[in-house]
Structure 1
Amino acid sequence: MADLGESRADYRAKTVATLCSKGGVGKSTLAAQIISDASRLGLKVLGIDLDPNGTLSRLTGTVSPVGELSIGDVLVGAARPQQVARVPVDWQPDIAFDRPWIQGGPLLPGGAVHILPAPDRGLEVTTSRSGTDAEQALLEALAVSEIGEHYDLIVVDPPASTSSTLYLALYASEHLVFPLQTESAALSGLTLTVESAIKFSSLSRRRVNGIGVVATMLDRTTEHTLTLAAAQEWMDERFKGQIGVLNPQIPRRTIVSEAGSSMVPVSRLVTGKLKNADIASRYAAVALAVVAAVTPERLEAIFDAIEKEDLPEEIADIIYAALESRAETVNTGHEN
């Protein structure tokens, strides 16, 4: 008997989403830096902006003006992702080919950044639709278009929410990163987001892999220290060591907002004397943990290239920290 089943492309295994139910935690900034740093490791990366605020699009200079195609058109089937994808020139690794890796140059060749941008306004009308078909719209668009064949990594940046927009990202993404602003009010947002992802996996029977929690905008205050400790304790109790808070944490620094205002990656603002290198290397460490989860076969070549960079010991320690913190867990993720 002939097999009448439909064979469909599935790119969930190469897709990561940055998830948090609370806004203002540095989620889109984290997504943007993962995109940039992964591309500088030689990956072709597609960023998808599902946030009506369009922060990822604004950071990369790709916001779609009124009347031009955007991710909103993709979600309603009016355009293919290939028609919408934009190439942010200042985010291409090769534009900084003459700079060392720690200063924003490429570590390995072949990397590229493309963005499916949010529209200047009106995206919330599309992303707030409920129902299974609407929530699977991104998954469907990626599968039908087969756009994932052209990329090594896809990064989805949804809005801060636990509503239908969260499920748009979850249906399309197997891997999850949870940004946490280390303030007491944000901890409840983290637990709500993680529990929502687990419930989704259980009900949909789709795998989710929690790469880890990333502490953002960290201050050396008692509140931040206690919140970080509480987050780690909750993750340890909830997941028995399977998912934790990644090291290193990302402190609050003006370089991050300066890079955002200039619409360039944070690494591009590292000076010849390595001023700001500690912040850039922390984002690079998170990106390395993402690459290790999504495409581990690339790690050997990446490690060899990093060794040749002859980085200062303190910078090298930061870069490897996220991998080391993941290696301390019992497994590298959580699956329902």
Structure 2
Amino acid sequence: MGKIIAVANQKGGVGKTTTCVNLAASMAATKRKVLVIDLDPQGNATMGSGIDKYEVAHSAYDLLIDEMPLDRVIEKETSGGYDLVAANSDVTAAEVKLMELFSREMRLRNALKDYKDHYDYIFIDCPPSLNMLTINAMSAADSVLVPMQCEYYALEGLTALVDTISKLAAVVNADLKIEGILRTMYDPRNRLSSDVSDQLKKHFGEKVYRTIIPRNIRLAEAPSFGSPVMYYDKSSSGAKAYLALAGEMLRREEQHKEVSVESASVG
């Protein structure tokens, strides 16, 4: 069965879309079947996947509002080797329209229900705010991956996000949990980065990925070429970091399965 992961942080500029696109490309490179759903009206994940958001025939709007089947909405020819549900300014209208609809927070969950087994991983790029689009993502997801910079305000924002996830779990998705916390734009020369990183590990333990995404100019340049960094410059530290993250996630998944099998056999 596929796994649905919402990539979310209520704070903007933390590497959320960068993580979604590059992690998806890294997973696809390991021969996993991957889908990216762009729910951010800015359409950055769409453009970063080599798809012109102004030229797409269908977008997340059609999936959420018109209930168009997923296989009619997806873009197959992405630069990252994964399938994509595109976003553009139409998705802003979708947020408004959702407010008028019955069971509005479950639209994405219902849309993915019959397609979850078609993919190994489905990554949802959320808007940098808690709105109806983000709530749809959280309702559909198995877990939330939180990219964050190691700075003081980000730590405060993370506390608020964890609280939000707990509240949403109580209301729309009882199984929702934190997949992991990813340190992004990391500069080891910065004392504050090290201090915040230590606090993260202290409070969240194994939820904090060992992999750290460094500040990297190639990572910043790649979206303007409509490409994940591993296809823009595979030797860059950014490309290596996201491949390492994919490897770490896959190992965690295997360990979790082994523990589940052992628990079942003991029971």
Code of the residue aligned with 1:209 in structure 2: it is K
Higher deviation after alignment, 58-67 or 34-43: 58-67
Aligned match for 2:54, one of 56, 65, 88: 65
Name the counterpart of 1:102. Answer: none
- For the pair 1:178 / 2:146, whether they are aligned, the reply is yes
1:132 CA drift (Å) = 6.8
- For the pair 1:136 / 2:106, whether they are aligned, the reply is yes
Deviations 1:200-221 (A, max 9, x none): 2233452123221101011221
Name the counterpart of 1:160. Answer: 128
- SS state at 1:217 partner: strand
Asked if the contact 1:211/1:289 (under 8 Å) is kept, the reply is no
Q: TM-score, structure 1 length as denominator?
A: 0.69
Name the counterpart of 1:286. Answer: 245
- Aligned residue pairs, count: 256
Runs of 4+ residues deviating >4 angstroms: none
Runs of 5+ in structure 1 lacking a partner?
Answer: 1-10, 93-112, 236-240, 301-326, 328-336
Mapping of residues 239-278 of structure 1, within 5 Å: 241=205, 243-270=206-233, 275-276=235-236, 278=237
1:189 CA drift (Å) = 1.6
Asked if the contact 2:37/2:60 (under 8 Å) is kept, the reply is yes
RMSD value over aligned CA atoms? 2.6
State the alpha-carbon separation in 1 of the partners of residues 83 and 168 from structure 2.
Answer: 28
1:249 CA drift (Å) = 1.0
1:78 CA drift (Å) = 4.6
- SS state at 1:246 partner: strand
Aligned match for 1:85, one of 71, 74, 81: 74
State the alpha-carbon separation in 2 of the partners of residues 265 and 205 from structure 1.
Answer: 31
State the alpha-carbon separation in 2 of the partners of residues 81 and 215 from structure 1.
Answer: 32
Name the counterpart of 1:308. Answer: none
1:197 CA drift (Å) = 1.0
Runs of 5+ in structure 2 lacking a partner?
Answer: 260-267
Aligned match for 1:198, one of 136, 160, 166: 166
Asked if the contact 2:138/2:173 (under 8 Å) is kept, the reply is no
Aligned match for 1:225, one of 168, 176, 194: 194
Deviations 1:172-227 (A, max 9, x none): 11022110012222112212112211222233452123221101011221222222
Aligned match for 2:43, one of 51, 54, 57: 54
Q: How high is the sequence identity, in percent, across the aligned residues?
A: 26
Higher Rg of the two aligned structures: 1
